């Protein structure tokens, strides 16, 4: 998740939004590297960018095995409108619930490998 760091116009948002897309795309590509595990589940990444007009841009990213690039779907929410803000918070709640459920399935080996990977990124 990234929030704009600029006070200027729409163009100033662009570098933060591009960074969000780039980081999400890299994680989607890394998450879908072929593994030795048979029938491993594909990895989808959710990236969120909030611009200075309080528009939340939610990107769902993945890289299907047959695709040579990361594909994404964008949905936007105007956070200054109560119903759209509620829908966005509801989406975050569902995302958090899914993350908690998926993390419960990770074994200790996967957690240690994930920790090593995150350490390398810092």
* pTM (2 d.p.): 0.71
φ and ψ of 47, to 5 deg? -120, 140
Q: Is the pLDDT of residue 36 over 60?
A: no
Identify the band that residue 57 occupies on the pLDDT scale cut at 50, 70 and 90: very high
Chain segment 61-99, per-residue pLDDT in tens: 988 877 788 889 999 999 999 999 999 999 999 888 887
Give the separation between CA 45 and CA 77, rounded to whole angstroms.
18
Give the separation between CA 2 and CA 42, rounded to whole angstroms.
24
DSSP SS3 for 71 = strand
Domain ranges of the chain: 2-121
Of 13-22, 32-41, 69-78, 80-89, least confident by mean pLDDT is 32-41
């Amino acid at each position: 998740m990234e929030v704009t760091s600029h006070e200027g116009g729409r163009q100033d948002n662009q570098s933060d939004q591009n960074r969000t897309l780039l980081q999400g795309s890299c994680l989607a590509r890394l998450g879908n590297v072929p593994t030795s595990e048979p029938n491993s589940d594909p990895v989808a990444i959710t990236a969120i960018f909030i611009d200075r007009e309080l528009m939340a841009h939610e990107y769902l990213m993945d890289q299907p095995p047959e695709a040579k690039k990361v594909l994404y779907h964008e949905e936007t929410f105007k956070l200054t409108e109560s119903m759209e803000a509620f829908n966005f918070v509801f989406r975050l709640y569902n995302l958090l619930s899914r993350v908690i459920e998926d993390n419960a399935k990770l074994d200790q080996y996967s957690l240690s490998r994930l920790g090593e990977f995150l350490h390398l990124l810092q």
